[in-house]
A and B are shown apart, each in its own frame.
Chain A
Amino acid sequence: MISKDNVLEVRNLQTSFSTDKGEVRAVDGVSFDVPKGKTIGIVGESGSGKSITSLSILRLLAENGKIKGGEIRYKGEDLTKVSEKRMRELRGNEISMIFQEPMTSLNPVYTVGQQISEALISHQGMNKKQAMVRSVELLKLVGIPSPEKRVKAYPFELSGGMRQRVMIAMSLACDPEILIADEPTTALDVTIQAQILELIKDLQERLGMSVIFITHDLGVVAETCDYVAVMYAGQVVEYSDIRTLFKQPKHPYSIGLLNSLPRHDIDQEKLMPIKGNVPSPHEMPTGCRFAPRCPAATDLCRAKMPELMTDDSGNQIRCWIYSDEWPGEKEVNVYGETRIAKG
């Protein structure tokens, strides 16, 4: 990448699960940068490895999961190698996370105030009283009306949008450098989603943190992110600034994804779907993982997996079309759009 001030650099991350059907390589070649103060999006279809990528960063994988390779560089430290003790310090203090369904990550038997205080007491050494005062401040920061009253509420007494605000308040408790938001608005209605997106943007500007925003909604990406990593079958297939991704996407999968999207803001004729299905994690194609569905696939694609290559503008792409080895035509037709091959 063009040199930026990156707080986090993920390089060729590989995470596997052992299951009774054999090894599942859930993440198998994920690289991206998180520049300071910026928002990067991770998009991809269900099962493409978005959540496992973020859980790997925090080392919160399930028992049967393991980071098998690659690096996660955070301010000079490789998070794949640091001790569990160091990881505990980082979680919550420097890198925090919010999840898709706030109800499952809030404890139903404690009040909102008790839960936020918990984090403040254990990570910042506050006493109970200080922590309660700070909790009220945080609830106010995330736009919860009458925070003095709500701090005593139990999660079930709050609406979905409010619970998500509480989750955000908790994740901000320790002023993190990086906030990982995994589908934070997917379970919410659009008018509530608009409130939460506005809140995250506003907080980011005020607090100067970097955000990793995981979503399958390309609209949300276009509106909130500066950079975006597109994932397919456990790999990053394209990483670029968002203008390039939406105006001149390079990877056939990215092009196909944008062409399949029904838009509410413009009239479209027929949608152009990507044919077929995502490969099962147990039967990954040997070559390019998109080859069985790709309209431009060649024998080379089917035989050999392309590496993630950096282009002149600093964007990254995993596709043979943009390499010297491309065996096909110079002008490649991808879902009705033309891309110029490098070879």
Chain B
Amino acid sequence: MAKQELLKVEGLKQYFPIKGGFLGRTVNHVKAVDDISFTIYEGETVSIVGESGCGKSTTGRSILRLEEPTEGKVEFQGVDLATISKRQMRDYRKDLQIIFQDPYASINPRQTVASVLNEAMEIQNVLPANKRRARIEELLETVGLLPYQADRFPHEFSGGQRQRIGIARALSVDPKLIICDEAVSALDVSIQAQVLNLLEDLQEQYNLTYLFISHDLGVVRHISDRIIVMYLGKIVEIADKHSLFENPQHPYTKALLSAIPVPDPDKKKERIVLKGDVPSPIDPPAGCRFHTRCPFATDKCRTEEPKLRTSDLMKEGHEAACHYMEEISAGAMQPNY
């Protein structure tokens, strides 16, 4: 079966103005997302990983126009969501849902679960009112809760259960794409595993597509088909899961993977400890944005921006943005720690 494009992001930029001076003029911009492009196919799970502040959540929010993108196209089934009217966009919210990290913050504490779900369906005109109660109970069962819990309030649930309510709410409008922004990050491992399995089962059952945003590479390896690595508002590498974990090409990806502690005391591994902190996205470094921390940086890196590209060492669809991938892999360049 040919892969169907579902969402195509092209040249997406999201700059937030920084006001300053006594006139409150825009003095600068936070370049939260700076010219990124990628495609998501129907039924797959694409993850965005990277350290805090690299632009993961902003990407998700711009796709949904929770934030008006500064520039770029967001094509959903061929329609550019970035240019349609706000009214039309509201209709598309039915197809594109989002689940957030904090199940507390995203659910109104004064509403029962049933009214939370009912409201979501009402806004999108899903089902006649008299059919909704049955659907709500069915949804609760789908996400592993009990029908009688429909009339309870959010504070009567545990964190994991509240995340299930968030999932039920997203599902209630029959979406095609669900953006999961750190959706399991706040959960304890034993509960996180329950929710991850649930998301996988639902994907199969309803042919859902996920854009999965997370800083946890363990979770990402588990759930993803393809992975995007971001650094300071840019995509530095994109690959299918297997290539990314087994054959990373960008020095940042390599450092990121090597920094994660392994839950196996017998696996002693080479760790690349990066120097310094992530620079500010207000005045990001010129050239390659990673050059201030990269052990391979040269003068060229400090002035010339590397573009995403592939090399002979990479499988189809695997791209990274580094001038020296070939030289580094061949051992022709030595790291300078």
Which residues of A are at the interface with B, using a C-beta cutoff of 8 A? 45-46, 159, 161-162, 189-195, 197-198, 216-224, 242-243, 246-247, 256-265, 267-268, 270-275, 277-278
Quote the shortest CB–CB distance from A255 to chain B (angstroms): 11
Q: Are A261 and B217 in contact (CB under 8 A)?
A: no
A236 to chain B, nearest CB (A): 17
A216-B255 contact, Cβ under 8 Å, with A191-B51, A221-B263, A264-B220: no
With A45-B189, A262-B219, A262-B222 as contacts: A219 and B194 at CB distance below 8 Å: no
Are the C-beta atoms of B262 and A265 separated by less than 8 Å? yes
Q: For the complex, what is the distance from the CA of A223 to the CA of B200, rounded to whole Å?
A: 30
Pairwise interchain contact B277-A277, C-beta atoms closer than 8 A? no
Q: A189-B278, A275-B194 are in contact. List 16 more A-B contacts (CB 8 A).
A: A190-B217, A191-B259, A191-B274, A219-B260, A219-B263, A223-B265, A259-B193, A261-B189, A261-B193, A262-B196, A262-B218, A262-B222, A263-B222, A263-B263, A265-B262, A277-B158
For B270-305 the 0/1 string (1 means CB < 8 A from A) is 010110011000000000000000000000000000
Q: A273-B190, A274-B190 are in contact. Are A261 and B197 (CB under 8 A)?
A: no
Given the interface pairs A159-B277, A261-B218, A264-B245, the reply to whether A271 lies near B158 with Cβ below 8 Å is no
B30 CB-CB contact with A under 8 Å: no
CB contacts (< 8 Å) of A192 on chain B: these are: 51, 277
Among B160, B223, B259, B263, contact of A258 (Cβ-Cβ < 8 Å):
B263
Asked whether B263 lies within 8 Å of A222 as measured between CB atoms, the reply is yes
State A247–B265 Cα separation when bound (angstroms).
9
> Which of chain A's residues has its CB closest to B192's CB?
A260
Measured between beta carbons, the chain B residues less than 8 angstroms from A271 are 193, 196-197, 222
Contacts of B159 in A (CB 8 A): 46
The count of residues in chain B whose C-beta lies closer than 8 Å to any C-beta of chain A is: 44
A190 touches B262 (CB 8 A): no
The prevalent SS among residues of B at the interface is helix
B residues in contact with A262, CB < 8 Å: 192-193, 196, 216, 218-219, 221-223
In the complex, A268 Cα to B224 Cα: how many Å? 12
* Chain B 197-225 interface residues, beta-carbon cutoff 8 Å to A: 197, 200, 215-223
Main secondary structure of the interface of A (DSSP, over half): helix
**Beta-carbon contact of B264 and A162 below 8 Å:** no
Query: Of B160, B196, B263, which one neighbours A277 at CB under 8 angstroms?
Result: B160
Contact B161 A190 (CB under 8 A): no
Q: Does B267 contact A (CB under 8 A)?
A: yes
Question: Is A273 in contact with B194, judged by CB distance below 8 angstroms?
Answer: yes
- The reply to whether the CB of B335 lies closer than 8 angstroms to some CB of chain A is no
Contact, CB under 8 Å: B193 / A272 = yes
Query: Across the interface, do B261 and A217 meet the contact criterion of CB distance under 8 Å?
Result: yes
CA distance A154 to B128 in the complex (A): 59
Minimal beta-carbon separation of A274 from chain B (angstroms): 4
In the complex, residue of chain B having the shortest beta-carbon distance to the beta carbon of A258:
B263
Bitwise, B29-72 to A at CB < 8 A (1) or not (0) is 00000000000000000000001100000000000000000000
Please give the distance in Å from B212's CB to the nearest CB on chain A: 12
**Most A CB within 10 A of own CB, among B161, B262, B265, B267:** B265
Q: Is the CB of B158 within 8 A of A219?
A: no
Roughly how many angstroms separate A224 CA and B193 CA in the complex, as a whole number? Answer: 24
CA distance A219 to B217 in the complex (A): 12
CA distance A171 to B1 in the complex (A): 60
Asked if B257 is at the interface (CB within 8 A of a chain A CB), the reply is yes
B residues near A159, Cβ cutoff 8 Å: 277
